[in-house]
Amino acid sequence: MAYVISNDCVACGACQGECPVEAISEGDIFKIDPEKCTDCGACAEVCPVGAISAG
């Protein structure tokens, strides 16, 4: 199960640098590619607004 980023995302980019498989891309809000996500949770741990959760 891949992690997902909610609309609460403030586009700070903290999660992108933590992803070991480069599954996170920038947009209006950041997005996680479910095909690449390995469900490690590293992104959720660093999100300052709690916008990332298990999908």
The pLDDT of residue 55 is 83
Domain extent for 27: 3-54
How many Å apart are CA 25 and CA 17, to the nearest integer?
10
Q: How many domains does the chain have?
A: 1
Note the pLDDT of residue 36.
97
Per residue in 32-52, pLDDT (tens digit) is 999 999 999 999 999 999 999
Measured distance CA(16)–CA(22) in Å, rounded: 7
- Dihedral, CA of residue 27, residue 30, residue 13 and residue 34, to nearest 10: -130
Q: Where residue 38 sits, what CATH number does that domain have?
A: 3.30.70.20
Spatial CA neighbour of 36 closest among 16, 50, 9: 16
> With 80 as the cut, is the pLDDT of residue 1 above it?
no
Q: What is the pLDDT of residues 13-36, one digit of tens each?
A: 999 999 999 999 998 899 999 999
